[in-house]
Amino acid sequence: MEKRKLLSLQNIESNTCYDGCTFYLPKGSVYSLKNSSFRNCSFRSSVTFCYLENCLFENSGFSNGCAINLSGQGLKEIPQWIFSFPFITHLNLSKNKLKTLPIEFSQFQDLQQLDLSKNRISLLPSVLCELYELRLLDLLQNNICTVPAELAQLSNLCELDLSKNSICSLPTELSQLRNLCRLSLSHNHLSTLSFGIKDLQNLVHLSAVSNKIRKIPLEMVELQHLKRLCLSYNQIVDIPSELGQLQNLSVLLLSNNRIHSLPSDFGQLHNLTRLSLDNNQISDFPTEFRQLHNLETLSLAHNEFTKVPTSLCQLPRLKTLSMHHNSICDFPSEMNQLQTLLGLNLSHNQMSYIPNEITQLKNLTDINLSDNQIQSFPKGIKEMQALSEFCISPDLLSHSQKNFVKNCLPNCTMSYYSTY
């Protein structure tokens, strides 16, 4: 067996005795080792193992953590060899066939990140709630129906992913996870988020997409650190006016609900940069909507608009606007104020002409007007020299009109079909 002593190294190998060595391992490397020992060694970069056999670590330190990655190995049980290394800080057991965890799991008291996603766990074992240093717990896509109250014992938990399970309710004890900053509950059977969520004061990201939620709980307005709220594909009808108090919210996704109007207090969301309201029943916006000065991306497809709202045209930073699949046939004169707009999708509406206000959008690079009733192009279209992609239905256009736009926009790619 080879021996190495008091060296600075960038690799580790099997069948080697290391004594007093310092390791600076390349980022992203994964090691499989046999018959190696490490005494008085120091790992200055993070290290990831996928297999360790007959290996010894004695008085050795890991400055940036020690990980074991057993993802995608078809495991039905935890291999016994990993219990010889209780000092690990990161453990990836995702994409296996695990149904539970053995009692020996409690010895991983240094474990900070545990990935159990895409397994077959139906009941969370109690031993999981004894890993008190855990910061990240990923349980995505298992068969979990019930979340035990004991999970609240993981007081250091910062990220919890329970998405794609069969959870119908959450215990109120979950609100004791005061350090939680990211909570993912998407694709379950939840009908409410009223489990004491107001106590999760450090929450930054909340995702509960594709559930059965009907109301946004008023207590949620106390989550003043919340930046991203994803509630698409639910059964929400009304948006409470108090939602405008979430002053740090930057992303709000509410598509595929049953929303028919927005409260005037919605305009108080001054830090909002992205808003998705696709597939609802909205026909207009309140005047206060123009106060969303930082909004850059707005999705309003599949609603009930007959005209572009005037308040929408007063958004000074809007870059992308999608309003396809509405009934739009009218445009306000203020639409030419959208000078920051880069992408515009008005396909599948009831447009019979291209308004001059659109031709005045000098920075527009992509526009989709397909599946409308447009028969000609205005002369002002020649001013839209920034256009690189123009999609429009060809059926009602004469040959001369097609040639006209080609001559006006020689650097623009014309797509004569619908992309939606």
Average confidence score pLDDT of the chain: 94
In the sheet with 8-9, reading across from the earlier edge strand, the strands are 8-9, 22-23, 42-43, 61-62
CB 123 within 8 A of CB 146: yes
Whether residue 186 is contained in a domain is answered as no
| 420: pLDDT strictly greater than 50 | no
Q: pLDDT tens, 85-138?
A: 999 999 999 999 999 999 999 999 999 999 999 999 999 989 999 999 999 999
Degrees to nearest 5, angle at CA 354 with 331 and 363: 85
Q: What's the pLDDT score for residue 115?
A: 98
Cβ within 8 Å of residue 260, ≥6 positions away: 237, 280, 281, 282, 283
Whether residue 28 is contained in a domain is answered as yes
| 234: pLDDT strictly greater than 80 | yes
35: helix, strand or coil: coil
Count of residues making up the chain? 420
Nearest to 131 by CA among 90, 73, 97: 90
Average pLDDT of the segment spanning 139-164: 97
CB 357 within 8 A of CB 378: no
Domain tally, the chain: 1
Q: pLDDT band at residue 375, thresholds of 50, 70 and 90? A: confident
| 395: pLDDT strictly greater than 80 | no
Q: pLDDT band at residue 400, thresholds of 50, 70 and 90? A: confident
What DSSP string runs through 328-367?
A: --B--GGGGG-TT--EEE--SS--SS--HHHHT-TT--EE
Q: pLDDT tens, 297-343?
A: 999 999 999 999 999 999 999 999 999 999 999 999 999 999 999 99
Average pLDDT of the segment spanning 284-300: 96
What is each CA distance from 160 to 103, 141, 195, 216, 297, in whole angstroms? 22, 13, 15, 20, 28
Q: pLDDT tens, 180-218?
A: 999 999 999 999 999 999 999 999 999 999 999 999 999
What is the percentage of the chain residues whose pLDDT exceeds 70?
A: 99
CB 78 within 8 A of CB 105: yes
Q: What's the pLDDT score for residue 416?
A: 75
| 379: pLDDT strictly greater than 60 | yes
Residue with tokens 């990211």: 182
Whether residue 141 is contained in a domain is answered as no
| 418: pLDDT strictly greater than 80 | no
In angstroms, the CA 208 to CA 223 distance is: 15
Whether residue 2 is contained in a domain is answered as yes
Average pLDDT of the segment spanning 387-401: 86
Q: pLDDT tens, 4-30?
A: 999 999 999 999 999 999 999 998 899
Q: What's the pLDDT score for residue 403?
A: 87
Whether residue 170 is contained in a domain is answered as no
Whether residue 162 is contained in a domain is answered as no
Q: pLDDT band at residue 248, thresholds of 50, 70 and 90? A: very high
CB 317 within 8 A of CB 293: yes
Q: pLDDT band at residue 417, thresholds of 50, 70 and 90? A: low
Instruction: Identify the domain containing residue 20 by its residue range.
Output: 1-64
Q: Is the pTM of this model over 0.75?
A: yes
Q: pLDDT band at residue 414, thresholds of 50, 70 and 90? A: confident
In angstroms, the CA 211 to CA 192 distance is: 9
Degrees to nearest 5, angle at CA 160 with 155 and 162: 130
Whether residue 208 is contained in a domain is answered as no
Nearest to 158 by CA among 198, 113, 196, 118: 113
Residue 181 is given by DSSP the state -
Whether residue 330 is contained in a domain is answered as no
Comparison of pLDDT for 339 and 419, the residue scoring more: 339
Average pLDDT of the segment spanning 241-264: 96
What DSSP string runs through 184-253?
A: E--SS--S--TTTGGG-TT--EEE--SS------GGGGG-TT--EEE--SS------GGGGG-TT--EEE
CB 100 within 8 A of CB 124: no
